[in-house]
Amino acid sequence: MAKKLLIVESPAKATTINRYLGEDFEVLASYGHIRDLPSKDGAVDPDNDFAMRYELSEGSKKHVDKIVKAARKAEAVYLATDLDREGEAISWHIYEILREKGLTDKVPYYRVEFSEITPRAIKAAIDNPRKLSMDLVNAQQARRALDHLVGFNLSPLLWKKIKTGLSAGRVQSPALRMIVEREREIEAFNPREYWSIEADLEKEGNPFSAKLVRLDGDTFRQFDIDNEKRAHEVRQALLGNANGKLVANRVKRKERKRRPAPPFITSTLQQDASRKLRFSAQNTMRTAQALYEGVAIDGVNQGLITYMRTDSVALSNDALADLRKQIGSQFGDRYVPKKPNFYKTKSKNAQEAHEAIRPTSAALTPDKVRRYLDDRQFRLYELIWRRAMASQMAPALLDTVAVEFDCGDDATFRANGSVITFPGFLAAYEVSVPEGKQEQESQLPDINEGDRVQLQDIRAGQHFTEPPPRYSEASLVKAMEEYGIGRPSTYASIISTLLRRHYAELDRRRFVPTDTGRVVERFLENHFSHYVDYEFTAKLEDELDAVSRGEAEWIPLLREFWDPFIKKVKEKEETVSRDEAKNVRVLGKDPKSGKDVTVRLGRYGPHAQIGHRDDEDKPKFAGLRPGQKIDTITFEDALELFRLPRKLGSTPEGEAVSVNVGRYGPYVRYGDK
DNA sequence: CAGTGAGCGAGCTTCCGCTTGACTT
């Protein structure tokens, strides 16, 4: 009996949908893209209208074979890949392969789309099929071709001018740039001194503190006191004015609402898992994948979360009802808002092919599934479950109070406090404090206008402004998402590319650019600024959108990019010397030989050099020590490197003994050992 | 481990975005 064939991208999704559709359907997975450009030059031919030579992807053959076989006997074929640009292209590739085999004439082909996996949504999709959108497919092809052309023309230029094996690309290069630019900011940063003044107060045995907010009749600003002497004077004057007591002159009370955050998408999940669980982006994705694919619960395999690679904060109506029901029964009706909370997707270039990340069933509380999960899975599931629950709960209510204490006529202290009167969503989910900010609102004793409080002391605290922090995996993903660089499925792999190329290293979970990374970044920024610009992807996305709406053609779009791009590549190949590309720094003249002392990036890493390779004598070399950087090493430190190798003496047999520093640290050698 | 860095120059490297692989014994 002939069946209808329905094709999706993910096998876990195929299993679920198969259950919903029953006997009439066979549901197969493509396992993502099935054809791609090979990793070779010439896969895109700019001289022939950017003709693209696709090849079956490694490992796709068995999946394609299965699809072909099923298509031969199917009575209809439904292409149900994701509803975004990439998904449309996958459907088209499947169609093309089946067309080449002569399988598209006999039975109808339908393109169907749904953004939530529920029986209702899938049935509705099947009842309302559409045609393949070649405009959307062509937008994808333009994206694909451009990425290939950028990567496979810039990378070889780097091999020629800097070092073999390096890489550049539309996405990895701006990401590298963020890391390098941040490091430069940190190096250029001059800390500024400032002082804070705080009063330690007490009311009926309850201590609290208040900050100085007004001094000399004016708002007290961060840098108003910038030295110890002045801080001391101010403190003495205030102590004198107060005389051991302060009076609460003004008390302002306010009720504040605090709203929950939207449910997770890929980027926010990676950020929160990094902050709260200290998971790497890769670890988070691997663990989420396991939760998505499901675990055996009482003998039945069950997916625990929805799809984890998504850029949409939207929840299906079924999910909203499910969460609200669970919130009501677990926390009580007060915690269920009158209407569901709605969130807007704010990330640039979002394609919203999937729902937000949420538990497939809110009733599966973390406690209930704990014994089926390993520790990492449990902690990630709990995070996802709590965040999704919280996103549909009522706001938290806080009573805030601000009390001002005048100290003499010209100065004022202020104490802030807040009390949670109704926890709302906080009952399910703790909000983490963003980087660099400190939460300092605490509880205050009950204070009313006119109350006198004891002054214990006034403290002057010295502070220095701090440079911006280096990027963590979490903050880098956040920044990439803000610029629209990279996609949910690639954030984690971009990070591993930067590490694999040794463009950056992780030091205490923060990215530090290497010399290689800095040299590559500088080369690209100096000579290809347009293509590594943060705005490049954003502009490209606008143009691709126009293509997908049928308002622009993809080939002219590529032509407009390609002609100036390849011209620039050719030009730079001629005009930029290797020395310039490698960022050779001349530090000074060697006092002994009078030759130039330089630092540069060599084949085996950064090194210092006396003399030039065109000199009659071979130049002398010395590798930089760990921690020394091409951009920052001083002349003196570089000369110091040449004090080794040093002869210590000779062995009784007359062999020379010397000491040197090699790749693996200092060592002593004698003779040829 | 190996303690280099020129020169000769073959053959190699490289993009982004979708999705999970698992042979035998």
């209510």: which residue's tokens?
A397
Q: Which DSSP state fits A130?
A: B
For residue A653, which amino acid is it?
Answer: E
| A51 phi and psi angles, rounded to 5 deg | -60, 140
8 Å CB contact between A590 and A622 = no
- Compute the distance between CA of residue A106 and CA of residue A75 in angstroms, rounded to an integer: 9
Closest alpha carbon to C1' of B7, residue: A613
Describe the crossing of helices A85-100 and A134-161 by its angle, rounded to 10 degrees.
100
Please list, in sequence order, all residues whose beta carbon lies within 8 angstroms of the beta carbon of residue A368, skipping any fewer than 6 positions away.
none
Evaluated on CA atoms A147, A152, A154, A158, the torsion sign reads positive
- Compute the distance between CA of residue A126 and CA of residue A128 in angstroms, rounded to an integer: 5
- Compute the distance between CA of residue A292 and CA of residue A288 in angstroms, rounded to an integer: 6
**Closest nucleotide to residue A165 (Cα to C1')?**
B13
- Compute the distance between CA of residue A544 and CA of residue A349 in angstroms, rounded to an integer: 10
């091409």: which residue's tokens?
A630
CA A388 to C1' B7, in angstroms, rounded, equals 64
Closest alpha carbon to C1' of B21, residue: A59
Domains in chain A: ranges and CATH: 4-132 (3.40.50.140), 146-188+469-578 (1.10.460.10), 193-259+396-464 (2.70.20.10), 266-391 (1.10.290.10), 584-670 (no CATH)
CA A518 to C1' B2, in angstroms, rounded, equals 27
- Compute the distance between CA of residue A261 and CA of residue A268 in angstroms, rounded to an integer: 10
Mind listing the pLDDT tens digit for each residue in A517-532? 999 999 999 999 999 9
CA A632 to C1' B15, in angstroms, rounded, equals 32
**Closest nucleotide to residue A175 (Cα to C1')?**
B16
Mind listing the pLDDT tens digit for each residue in A466-488? 999 999 999 999 999 999 999 99
Identify the H or E element spanning A117.
Answer: none
Mind listing the pLDDT tens digit for each residue in A43-59? 999 999 999 999 998 88
Q: Which residues of A carry out catalysis?
A: 307
Closest alpha carbon to C1' of B15, residue: A151
Q: Which nucleotides of B are covered by protein (CB under 7 A)?
A: 1-7, 12-21
Query: Helix, strand, or coil here: A620?
Result: strand
User: A606: which strand partners?
Assistant: A601
Instruction: Give chain A's residues under pLDDT 70.
Output: 1, 432-441, 603-604, 613-618, 643-673
Measured CA to CA in angstroms, residue A487 lies from A23, A168, A415, A481 at distances of 36, 17, 45, 8
Describe the crossing of helices A266-277 and A281-293 by its angle, rounded to 10 degrees.
110
Q: Which DSSP state fits A357?
A: B
C-alpha dihedral (A99, A103, A107, A113), degrees to nearest 10: -50
- Compute the distance between CA of residue A515 and CA of residue A602 in angstroms, rounded to an integer: 10
CA A68 to C1' B24, in angstroms, rounded, equals 28
- Compute the distance between CA of residue A407 and CA of residue A236 in angstroms, rounded to an integer: 12
Closest alpha carbon to C1' of B16, residue: A147
- Compute the distance between CA of residue A202 and CA of residue A349 in angstroms, rounded to an integer: 53
- Compute the distance between CA of residue A76 and CA of residue A6 in angstroms, rounded to an integer: 8
**Closest nucleotide to residue A308 (Cα to C1')?**
B19
CA A297 to C1' B16, in angstroms, rounded, equals 37
Mind listing the pLDDT tens digit for each residue in A501-520? 999 999 999 999 999 999 99
Instruction: Classify each residue of A550-580 as buried b or exposed e, where b means 16 or more C-beta atoms within 10 Å of its C-beta.
Output: eebebeebbeebbeebeebbeebeeebeeee
**Closest nucleotide to residue A537 (Cα to C1')?**
B16
* pLDDT number for residue A656: 61
Please list, in sequence order, all residues whose beta carbon lies within 8 angstroms of the beta carbon of residue A552, skipping any fewer than 6 positions away.
A543, A546
* pLDDT number for residue A635: 79
**Closest nucleotide to residue A38 (Cα to C1')?**
B15
Instruction: Classify each residue of A419-452 as buried b or exposed e, where b means 16 or more C-beta atoms within 10 Å of its C-beta.
Output: eeebbbbbbbbeeeeeeeeeeeeeebbebeeebe
| A469 phi and psi angles, rounded to 5 deg | -75, 150
Alpha helices in A332-398 (DSSP H): 366-369, 375-391
CA A591 to C1' B23, in angstroms, rounded, equals 67
8 Å CB contact between A263 and A313 = yes
DSSP string for A551-596: SS-HHHHHHHHHHHHHHHHHHHHHHS-HHHHTT-EEEEE-TTT-PE
